[in-house]
Structure 1
Amino acid sequence: MNLMQPPVCAPKVEGFMLKPEYWIKKIGDAEKLILDEGEIIEFNKKSFRKMRSRGFEEWLYDLKKYPKEITKEKLLNTMKSYSSKEVFPDKTCYDIHGNKITETVKKEVLYQANFDGIPDEISVELGMLIKRADVMAFPTDIFFAEKPETIDLNLFQLTILPVGSPVAILHKSKNRKWYFVQSTICKGWIKRENIALARNEKEVFDYLETDKFLIVTESRVETEPNPFVKEISNILFQMGDKIPLIEFNKIPESIPVGNLHAQSAEGCYVVKIPVKDEDGYLQFRLALIARSNDIYEGYLPYTKKNIIRQAFKLLGERYGWNGMFKRRDCAQFIMDIYSTMNIIIPCYTKMQEEGTAGESVKFTGSIKDRENILNQLKPGDPIYLKGHVVMYLGKDVNNYYIIHSGAGYGITNKDGSIKPVTVHGVFIAEVHQLLMSGEKSYLEAFTTARKFQ
């Protein structure tokens, strides 16, 4: 059968390799549990402990243990890595239109960070996200790019948090439009409009710890549009997000009740999502998610088959630096896939490589030595290199393959020069392929493989 449009692939990648089934059938124990539910809980506890011991606690934080009060010194220390005066860029930066950002604008951004408004003692408030929201290094909507041509990379974008994320609120911007927060996986500035204040801890953690929930197992889903209740309409969730279900006997006849133009629950799941009341405090509303979406009741079983299937659901999607464009970068690609199986890992490559529980396999030696190390890995294992992470797929004849959200690769021209090839998306590559920089191959750049088990 001739395809109307054959797929565009990297060198040594064939069209049949773009299907997860091709790789899954090569795995002898694809459906064997890597860890069961109890073992996963213990694995996650080990990751939290290891992150804390490595000094990475603020990138994997158990908010149940966050103190009710902190000092000014503690807050400034928390802000030091991304959000302090010392790390604010003093070089020339460019806005979304490629124009130079003026010193006046820079000063205003620092002014809004409200460093002089931090009290000696801070009462910590608990909140919850009511919308998927960017976490920023500084409280501004202004795009800060390193070069006029790099408007796909905001220097201030730290990560993105899903609806329902709990946050400890530590500080407010000068104009009160932004909160500086500590979340489970990061710290930074979030728009105040995206956070509802909690009246007590119980309502937050009861919501998070429910045993009846959906897991989003496709790239993204939305609640169904509701013209009568806008705050529950088209709420975005992405792969790995957990959405609480309500009890069957509490399902209403429609949302809202008593409206003959309202949608009923037929063909849908009824879920509970956080919203704000008139005073800005947390409450919960019912919403609908169509059962036709790729979603799962509870966590997916932790198997190699499921890891590979989840990875291929993201194939071809745009690279999104720290969650930009409602997409994923390399580390979030790995994080979201594993979160569908309740494996909790950080959102940055360094912390995944050094701070997560499990086994580490170091890459050293010659090309042959490195190939022998690949032979020890299993499909689905993440492999790290400087500032990047890929997922191992397996071997085909004498070639080894990976899938990842990356910038691209290099090709050697006939004259020996290197041609960089842009991808900036999720793609499959063979490990002997050059990096986009051309300095070495992926295989030569690998530093560590991890086994999350």
Structure 2
Amino acid sequence: MLYKLLCTLLLIFCAASMPLAGDAAGITQYPKLVEADYWTAQNKDGDKLLLDAKGVQFFNAKVRAASRNVPDLLHYPATVSGDSLKTRIMDYLVLEDDLYLHGNKVSENYKNILRKQTNVGAIPATVTPRYAVTVRRSSLRNLPTGEGLFYYAAERNFDVLQETSLDPGEPLVVLHQSANKYFYYVQSVNYSGWISTFNIAFTDKKTWQQYADPDDFLVVTAANVSLKTSGEQVIYQQGARLPLVSEQSDTYMVEAPVRSKTGLLQKQRLLLPRSAGVHKGYLPYTSNNILRAAFAFYDMPYGWGGLKDSVDCSSLVFNAYRTVGVYLPRNADEQEEGAGTKKLLETLDDKQKTAAINSLRPGAALYMDGHVVLYLGQINGVPYAIHSLGSYFSGGQRHVVMKVVVSDLSLQRSTGDSFLTDLRTAVEFK
């Protein structure tokens, strides 16, 4: 009798500790499933080192070789062809669509003004790059304007000119300036575009290299860390690096980049608590460290191109991996097509895809057209993921989410197919 009672109590405890089908299906808010600890505890070999420092360097070289937008900044050419730069800058494809500014349709005259601001006529036959560093979190734009353009009059979240956001201290190769001198065209670690003149500070190459390849630094592991420099709060997002000067038992002294009145780089020393959400050097490259990094953004707003001081689907992946020193392409399609160990899923049926996904290491990236999710693991054979989600469909109706969620892959897309059905590629970055 006692034995039966103990078995009954054990079954009740197990049932209470597992999510109910209704709690876990689709987007889940079941308490255990939205915490990193649950998934890291289930992750066999999750703390095993996947690549050491040299292995990470070797993998980053493969990323650069496979990705058109990820150059080797440390060995950037001393000169650049003016014609090739013009070709890059004159990609005005976005201006061929109907666009809206402040709810009003953009005129052709306005579009021509934007084209003229690119100032391509001033590009010489041979361009000599200059070197600069970002001094605050900054938008990198498709065209030299800070005004948002949208595909729909009422749209406010998806600015078609927003490419990505750069953290303070990002090394830049400066290639060109807009006609009104308010923007520079720059190359960052994995993207090129237009950045506000007032958000960068010029320096010599030797000083610049200290930001491009620092010896001693802190890496941000929290979603964001805020520092006050020269009277303003500047935000460093996850994966950003802060030059480390010294350390005490409870604080770090770091150097933050500041722009002088003449646009030159200056350094300001600041104290940062050890509890601020930073780590000395990169985190060890383990599967569990990738999961913990991704969960730092759980329930934060969807941030298209890094807006709202948050992440979209591909920057969630990019940020998590740069905490361990792995620098991926910025956009989902380039991540999918770039370096890594891949499983091709497109030709598999849903049952085969599920089996293939559940054989992956947690932290692998799963790609579909226009979206990427990070695989967390499975419950009773059902794979789960964390991702920054704009919306999903159900019964032909669009449901706006606009935040970082945990879900299974049963969510529907506009086609009516599930995320699982639409998956094309799974990538493990090693």
TM-score of the aligned structures, taking structure 1 as reference length: 0.85
Structure 2 counterparts to residues 224-235 of structure 1, below 5 A: 225=228, 229-230=230-231, 233-235=232-234
In the alignment, what sits opposite 2:147?
Answer: 142
Is contact 1:420–1:438 with CA below 8 Å preserved after alignment? no
Between the aligned partners of 1:8 and 1:425, the Cα distance in structure 2 is 18
Between the aligned partners of 1:395 and 1:420, the Cα distance in structure 2 is 27
1:221 Cα deviation (Å)?
A: 0.7
In the alignment, what sits opposite 2:220?
Answer: 216
1:350 Cα deviation (Å)?
A: 1.2
Question: Structure 1 stretches (4+) deviating beyond 4 angstroms?
Answer: 7-10
In the alignment, what sits opposite 1:444?
Answer: 421
Query: For 2:175, what is the secondary structure of its paired residue?
Result: strand
| Structure 1 residues 175 and 9, CA gap change in structure 2 (3 angstroms) | farther
Is contact 1:10–1:428 with CA below 8 Å preserved after alignment? no
Between the aligned partners of 1:210 and 1:330, the Cα distance in structure 2 is 28
Between the aligned partners of 1:433 and 1:50, the Cα distance in structure 2 is 31
Query: For 1:163, what is the secondary structure of its paired residue?
Result: coil
Amino acid at match of 2:117: Q
Is contact 2:27–2:405 with CA below 8 Å preserved after alignment? no
In the alignment, what sits opposite 1:190?
Answer: 195
Between the aligned partners of 1:196 and 1:29, the Cα distance in structure 2 is 44
Between the aligned partners of 1:121 and 1:131, the Cα distance in structure 2 is 30
Between the aligned partners of 2:382 and 2:261, the Cα distance in structure 1 is 60
**Aligned counterpart for 1:433 among listed residues 411, 420, 426:** 411
Structure 2 counterparts to residues 84-163 of structure 1, below 5 A: 84-85=91-92, 87-95=93-101, 97-163=102-168
1:9 Cα deviation (Å)?
A: 7.2
1:267 Cα deviation (Å)?
A: 4.7
Is contact 2:181–2:197 with CA below 8 Å preserved after alignment? yes
Query: For 1:119, what is the secondary structure of its paired residue?
Result: coil
Is contact 2:302–2:404 with CA below 8 Å preserved after alignment? yes
Query: For 2:100, what is the secondary structure of its paired residue?
Result: coil
Is contact 1:270–1:288 with CA below 8 Å preserved after alignment? yes
Q: Is structure 2 residue 61 aligned with structure 1 residue 71?
A: no
Between the aligned partners of 2:278 and 2:263, the Cα distance in structure 1 is 30
Between the aligned partners of 2:348 and 2:75, the Cα distance in structure 1 is 43
Query: For 1:390, what is the secondary structure of its paired residue?
Result: strand
Q: Is structure 2 residue 341 aligned with structure 1 residue 359?
A: yes
1:38 Cα deviation (Å)?
A: 1.7
Amino acid at match of 1:269: Y
In the alignment, what sits opposite 1:389?
Answer: 372
Between the aligned partners of 2:131 and 2:140, the Cα distance in structure 1 is 16
Query: For 1:44, what is the secondary structure of its paired residue?
Result: helix
Is contact 1:98–1:151 with CA below 8 Å preserved after alignment? no
Larger helix share, 1 or 2: 2
Percentage of pairs with the same residue? 30
Is contact 2:298–2:404 with CA below 8 Å preserved after alignment? yes
In the alignment, what sits opposite 2:5?
Answer: none
How many residue pairs match? The answer is 407
CA distances 1:201-254 after superposition (whole Å, capped 9, x unpaired): 11111243233211111110111x46xx42xx4221000001111035xxxxxx
Between the aligned partners of 2:374 and 2:54, the Cα distance in structure 1 is 25
In the alignment, what sits opposite 1:424?
Answer: 402
In the alignment, what sits opposite 1:21?
Answer: 37
Amino acid at match of 2:226: E
Is contact 2:94–2:160 with CA below 8 Å preserved after alignment? no
1:12 Cα deviation (Å)?
A: 7.0
1:319 Cα deviation (Å)?
A: 1.0
Structure 2 counterparts to residues 242-253 of structure 1, below 5 A: 242-247=241-246
Amino acid at match of 1:298: G
**Aligned counterpart for 2:360 among listed residues 377, 394, 398:** 377
| Structure 1 residues 299 and 92, CA gap change in structure 2 (3 angstroms) | same
Q: Is structure 2 residue 266 aligned with structure 1 residue 283?
A: yes
In the alignment, what sits opposite 2:63?
Answer: 47
CA distances 1:21-44 after superposition (whole Å, capped 9, x unpaired): 211111121211111122111111
Query: For 2:321, what is the secondary structure of its paired residue?
Result: helix
Query: For 2:275, what is the secondary structure of its paired residue?
Result: coil
Between the aligned partners of 2:128 and 2:216, the Cα distance in structure 1 is 33
Segments of 5+ residues of structure 2 without an aligned counterpart are: 1-21
Between the aligned partners of 1:12 and 1:111, the Cα distance in structure 2 is 46
CA distances 1:177-203 after superposition (whole Å, capped 9, x unpaired): 1111111211111111111112x2111
Between the aligned partners of 1:328 and 1:117, the Cα distance in structure 2 is 35
Is contact 2:171–2:211 with CA below 8 Å preserved after alignment? no
Between the aligned partners of 1:12 and 1:384, the Cα distance in structure 2 is 18
Between the aligned partners of 1:10 and 1:165, the Cα distance in structure 2 is 40
Query: For 2:351, what is the secondary structure of its paired residue?
Result: helix
In the alignment, what sits opposite 1:239?
Answer: 238
In the alignment, what sits opposite 2:3?
Answer: none
Between the aligned partners of 1:207 and 1:429, the Cα distance in structure 2 is 37
| Structure 1 residues 22 and 427, CA gap change in structure 2 (3 angstroms) | same
1:113 Cα deviation (Å)?
A: 1.3
| Structure 1 residues 175 and 304, CA gap change in structure 2 (3 angstroms) | same
CA distances 1:135-176 after superposition (whole Å, capped 9, x unpaired): 111111221100012210111111111111111111111111
In the alignment, what sits opposite 2:286?
Answer: 303
Query: For 1:45, what is the secondary structure of its paired residue?
Result: helix
| Structure 1 residues 245 and 12, CA gap change in structure 2 (3 angstroms) | closer
Is contact 2:377–2:385 with CA below 8 Å preserved after alignment? yes
| Structure 1 residues 400 and 36, CA gap change in structure 2 (3 angstroms) | same
CA distances 1:270-320 after superposition (whole Å, capped 9, x unpaired): 101212234322222212223331111111111121111111111111111
Structure 2 counterparts to residues 256-271 of structure 1, below 5 A: 267-271=250-254
